[in-house]
Amino acid sequence: MSFPELKNDRFLRALNREPVDRTPIWMMRQAGRYLPEYRATRAQAGDFMSLCKNTELATEVTLQPLRRYPADAAILFSDILTIPDAMGLGLYFETGEGPRFRKVVRTEADVAALPVVNTQKDLSYVTDAVTSIRHALAGDVPLIGFSGSPWTLATYMVEGGSSKDFRNLKSMMYRTPELLHAMLDKLALSVIDYLNAQIDAGAQAVQIFDSWGGALSDDAYQKFSLFYMKKIVAGLKRESEGRKVPVILFTKGGGQWLEVMADSGCDALGLDWTTPINQARERVGHRVALQGNMDPAVLYSESAQIRAEVKRILDQFGDHPGHVFNLGHGITPHVKPDAVKAFFDAVVDLSSR
């Protein structure tokens, strides 16, 4: 498969800790509800999953933020829960409550019944979107593919949706750890297939979102989250189209594990806003690039405050290779698009100097 030549590779160069003319920037949940044009397209699709499964509309919403802001990367428009949905759990979205599953996984029989996902057969709408987006980008910026981590996917599959305490999953983890390991192993194999299929379809970097790894103790994190992310990293295609495909690991609330995460074989670590970026850089040294890490809530302030916070983070990171500017988690729906413009403009202006 051939695609237009990449014109702006600043993001990929930074992930490989190569010199760049300025700090690249993109934003988690870049295509989302804060944009009026996204809300209009989602309404046109009917619901969130219909939007994900419509190649033309998924391509459109991926491109929408790039028309407004000088982002250095696009990220595939999809959801981390496509894999459990393809395993037959029946994903749906309840207004005001977020994702839910019609079936939960709590018994040995439930785990045994889970298939390992075959992306080509079960999730072709995702790879169709990747290829469509790559062509539509016309080489302007690279495209990021992504997946949830096995632990994070398991939280939704066992709890049936979002949870504050992960009571059912943690009960499984402590009472029948071998059952949870069997489940996580199937999820890891599914994620490897899924991300490799995205790379084959045109993704130029991939990110693993471990949104709930921070809910674990140190020992449990290493056994039930990081172990499976390492397995995924080891199973990924690391080159495509004659170029390295960088892998980013992001554990929200995972600042205490940066050293062991850096040893996973990944190319970059995403940081939330609770870890000072200068300390993170000192701790991981030259092993990996860092992505982050402004608190998304800063975007509720005025442009002068946004600019000051961008400057503080850039100054903290200092004149070193390997920084991708991002929020410490996804942008929230009530942020004004003008605040996002102030954010992007500040990074471009201040890091160019």
How does pLDDT run across 293-339, given as a tens digit for each residue?
999 999 999 999 999 999 999 999 999 999 999 999 999 999 999 99
CA gap 88, 137 in Å, rounded: 33
Residue stretches of the chain with pLDDT short of 50: none
Give the active site residue among 39, 68, 79, 300: 79
Give the active site residue among 33, 39, 68, 287: 33
SS (H, E, C) the chain: CCCCCCCCCHHHHHHCCCCCCCCCECCCCCCCCCCHHHHHHHHHHCCHHHHHHCHHHHHHHHHHHHHHCCCCCEECCCCCCHHHHHHHHCEEEECCCEEEECCCCCCHHHHHHCCCCCHHHHCHHHHHHHHHHHHHHCCCCCEEEEEECHHHHHHHHHHCECCCCCHHHHHHHHHCHHHHHHHHHHHHHHHHHHHHHHHHHCCCEEEEEECCHHHCCHHHHHHHHHHHHHHHHHHCCCEECCEECCEEEEECCCHHHHHHHHCCCCCEEECCCCCCHHHHHHHHCCCCEEEEEECHHHHHCCHHHHHHHHHHHHHHHCCCCCEEEEECCCCCCCCCHHHHHHHHHHHHHHHHC
Give the active site residue among 34, 38, 156, 221: 156
Assess whether 156 carries a catalytic annotation: yes
Annotated binding residues, written as ranges, equal: 29-33, 79, 156, 211, 329
Annotated binding residues for substrate, written as ranges, equal: 29-33, 79, 156, 211, 329
Assess whether 79 carries a catalytic annotation: yes
Domains of the chain: 10-352 (3.20.20.210)
Q: What is the pLDDT of residue 353?
A: 82
Q: Has this prediction a pTM greater than 0.95?
A: yes
Nearest CA to 344 out of 74, 142, 7, 72 is that of 72
- Within 10 A of 249 (CB to CB), how many other CB atoms are there? 29
Give the active site residue among 13, 42, 134, 307: 42
| Tally of residues, the chain | 353
